[in-house]
A and B are shown apart, each in its own frame.
Chain A
Amino acid sequence: MTPAEATHEDRYYVPHGSQWPIIGSIGLFLLMFGASHWLNGDDFGFWVMWTGVAVIVVMLFGWFGKVISESLAGRYNSQVDMSFRMGMFWFIFSEVMFFSAFFFALFYSRFFSVPWLGGESNNFFTNLFLWSGFEAVWPTNGPGDVGGQFQPMEPFGLPLLNTAVLLSSSVTVTIAHHALQQGNRLFLKIFLALTFLLGFTFIYLQGAEYIHAYTEMNLKLTTGIYGSTFFMLTGFHGLHVTLGAIILTIMWLRVMRGHFTPRHHFGFEAAAWYWHFVDVVWIALYVFVYWM
């Protein structure tokens, strides 16, 4: 068999050159170059940074647009589809590992450093000489009372409501997926819309919670290790929810344009996987950051 005779299913689609990656690199470079200067106190860096973001956004639209048009043109066989699936899966895995670093910081401070500062294990003299009087309890802003008196976040109320919001969005996205597979476009549109609306609701409520924490509870990013872990974990999660909700919105727009078939809808599935991932991270967050 020669390539000419090879059928479509046998041929793995290898795209010809693409300008998008290098544009992406330039965008990243501008973003980080600008951010560095901005953090060092040079104001122009701020604008460079946002230019970089804009370039990246353009790149994402261009790149994904190209992939979508290739897909619609039927260039991709099932093997290419599989590559995308695996790629997405392992990308999500790497995201999980990113969150693990922050969870590790949380567990380490709760179960090691804070008790040690309180004199446990081989740190009797740490407490005696350096932080006498400090008692290890969680939550804490440390023996130096960094950031001053604060109120810890309660697990019930708003956070619980947010849990419900996010969990139900996971249900709606699953319903939307089933609808898509069964060719029920109406349900697909409704439930997908519900999903990202719930997502944005979550972000809104989270924003309200942050404002409450900052203004009423004196709980800030600078509130010692508790504030650090709380805001970094929930903050990065919130960022991911935002991204996920935007992606879902785009998927919805694509649905409205008639994209996706009951059998080919990897873009939708990837968005749904991502959404489940932020959901699972939230459950871990709720349990370990808010509740326990």
Chain B
Amino acid sequence: MKRKLILGLAVFCLAGPACADWAINMPKGITDMSHETWRLHMHVFWWCVAIGIVVFGTMAYTIFKHRKSRGHQAAQFAHNGKLEVVWTAIPVIILLIMAVPAAETLVKLEYTQDPDLTVVITGYQWRWHYEYPDLGVEFFSTLAAESNAARRKGSGIDPATVENYLLDVDKPLVVPKGAKVRVLLTSKDVIHAWWVPALAIKKDAIPGFMNQMWFRPEQTGTYRGQCAELCGVDHGYMPVVVHVVEPAEFKTWVAARAEEAAPATAAGEEE
């Protein structure tokens, strides 16, 4: 009985995340690096499953076989030098097998040079500011009004009726497909973290320092994430939305934004 339950528990624990393509796993994402990260994640995961099967299997066997109720007599050994060397050495080898690809991916992730486009992102309590320093475009991005209304306590709005509840903003970040985008990240108040799972990048926005990261989106579409560092009351309400568009569309978007901004600045200068 107990044995079955323990076994069942182990199987349940292992079988769960094994259904890799269900919504319970890490998304594969839309960049080469996100694919690489995903593969690394699965690689390490499967090694853990394998080790788990061996260890839990042995335990299940001994729990089943070597119980007093089956009349098993206790052996009295307490050492086995060779065995101990083996089970110290094998994990080391497995770790090396994991460490090498991890290090390779990390080195690539840290290579932020030669970008096609640079975006400066600044965290505020509780919204993001996006700036394209080379294109003269900048704007704030805040939680979408619908979500903002529904999220209030006692709002009476069922979150399920709100599209992309808490994951939508008024003005998303727009980037061209295929371009290497370098993100420069900082904050004006407390620490935030900018994260889009589909891009497999996350970094802290630290006041007074400028962090860097990069991504090259390979698919158009809208990708959503959230602030990932506790930043106060509305930490849960500063989502990140990235629009990946075709390069041509990006150009028109930039032009439109510049036009939008121009009268405003002109008006500002007149005063």
Contacts and interface: CB of A to CB of B under 8 A. Distances in A.
A123 B208 contact: no
Interface string A58-95: 00000000000000000000000000000000000000
B209 A129 contact: no
A125 B208 contact: no
A277 interface: no
A14 interface: no
A129 B212 contact: no
Contacts of B208: 117, 126, 130-131
- Residue of B186, B209, B212 most packed against chain A (CB within 10 A): B209
Nearest to A113: B209
Contacts of A2: none
B245 interface: no
Contact of B212 (A117, A125, A130): A125
A130 B186 CA distance: 9
Most buried by B among A116, A125, A131: A125
Contacts of A18: none
A125 B208 CA distance: 11
Nearest to A143: B208
Contacts of B120: 129
Nearest to A128: B210
B191 interface: no
A126 B206 CA distance: 10
A122 interface: yes
**Of A116, A129, A131, most B-chain CB atoms within 10 Å:** A129
B143 interface: no
A101 B35 CA distance: 40
Nearest to A129: B210
Contacts of B186: 129-130
Interface of A: 116-117, 122-123, 125-126, 128-131
11 contacts: A122-B110, A125-B210, A126-B208, A126-B210, A128-B210, A129-B120, A129-B184, A129-B186, A130-B209, A130-B210, A131-B208
Given A125-B210, A125-B212, A126-B208, 19 more contacts: A116-B209, A117-B208, A117-B209, A122-B110, A122-B212, A123-B209, A123-B210, A125-B184, A126-B209, A126-B210, A128-B210, A129-B120, A129-B184, A129-B186, A130-B186, A130-B208, A130-B209, A130-B210, A131-B208
The 7 closest A-B pairs by CB, nearest first: A125-B210, A126-B210, A126-B209, A125-B184, A129-B210, A130-B210, A130-B208
